[in-house]
Amino acid sequence: MSRYLAPAGLEEALVALAGGARPVAGGTDLVVGVRQGRFPIPDDLVAIHRLAGFRGIAEGADGGLVIGAGTSHAEIVAHPRVTRDWTGLADASAIVGSPATRATGTLGGNVANASPAADTVAPLLCADAVIVCRSTAGERRLPLDGFATAPRRTLLRPDELIVAVELPAPAPGSASCYVRLEHRRQMEIAIVGAGALLRLEGGRVTAARVAMTALAPTVRRVPEAERILLGSDGGAAAVTAAAEAVAAAATPIDDTRASAAYRRAMAAVVTRRAIGGALARARGETVTIPASDTLFGAA
């Protein structure tokens, strides 16, 4: 590798990307991936951790949130609007890696890396997140739904940088939750994960989002499960049926951490707990962040 640039201005970074440079923010995926031999270190790197306006969380005009792509997981989980209104995202950011990973790793990196086990993606899908991409040619705003196309593949073009993740205002009466199955509390990657967002009005579910993690080539929504919940009373029968729909839609793999059969068997359990956590929060009950701790027993 030969070239390195660490600009403070976005335009300079975008020009570098257009010239073939690859971006590095916290480096938590890049440096480990290189050492594991999954890809070579890029010849031309542009560091984006110094970019002005790249880090931080701003309130959008419509009551939504604009999270700079360089915002760390630690900053996300410390933000009062996130913990109040996007609780599922807080559940996820609170359990990514270790305290050091969370201080260094960024939301934009988690999305761009497109791991099938990325913790933040399921709750972001439930929140109808929009990915803001910039290049020297201009800006594209892409729905997160469909952004990842395969493991570690996204719609992001090589000359584009994710600059922000936009979250629309949450509907009144809605709440979200993210839960993952793990062998241990910390320093873990999801064996199976699930995100859910439910809106309750007059005892009926009037909006439903369910997304599954580490159960398909990409983290993705499960429309079959959402349809079962929509219009239901959010009772045990509907929740169980929705969870079964996730298990039926899952196409998990065998790897060193779990067999496909085990993942499929656990898919319904984890989904049921995520939906249950979202429903409890929508009813005003407290489910402590991160929900995984609460739903799988004491830490």
Q: Which is nearer to other proteins, 94 or 197 (CB)?
A: 94
Residues in contact with other proteins by CB under 8 A are: 1-4, 6, 24, 26-28, 31-32, 34-36, 41, 45, 47, 49-50, 74, 97-101, 103-104, 185-187, 299
**What's the count of helices (H) and strands (E) in the chain, helices before strands?**
12, 14
Distance of CA 120 to the CA centre of its chain: 2
Q: Give CA–CA dist 254/262, Å, rounded.
A: 9
- Closest to other proteins by CB, 185 vs 257, is 185
Q: Residue 166 to residues 51, 124, 156, 238, 254: CA-CA distances in angstroms?
A: 18, 9, 16, 31, 34
For residues 56 and 231, which CB has a smaller minimum distance to other proteins in the complex? Answer: 56
Task: State the minimum distance, in angstroms, from the CB of residue 24 to other proteins.
Answer: 7
Pick the closer one to other proteins by CB: 161 or 243: 161
Structure tokens that stand for 144 in this block: 């997160």
What are the angstrom distances between the C-alpha of 77 and each of 32, 52, 60, 102, 106?
Answer: 24, 21, 18, 9, 12
From the CB of 4, what's the least distance to other proteins, in Å? 4
Distance of alpha carbon 249 from alpha carbon 211, whole angstroms: 11
61 vs 298 by CB, closer to other proteins: 298
Q: How far is the CB of 31 from other proteins (least distance, A)?
A: 4
Q: What minimum distance in Å lies between the beta carbon of 80 and other proteins?
A: 17
| Amino acid letter, 271 | T
DSSP string, 154-191: ES--TT-EEEEEEEPPPPTTEEEEEEEE-SSSSS---S
What does DSSP assign to residue 62? T
Q: Kindly tell me which of 98 and 251 has the beta carbon lying closer to other proteins.
A: 98
Diameter over CA atoms, the chain: 62
> Among residues 49 and 227, whose Cβ is nearest to other proteins?
49
Name the minimum Å distance from CB 180 to other proteins: 15
Least distance (Å) between residue 190 CB and other proteins: 16
Cα gap 69→236, rounded to integer Å = 38
Q: How far is the CB of 6 from other proteins (least distance, A)?
A: 7
> Are 97 and 115 contacting, i.e. CB atoms less than 8 angstroms apart?
no
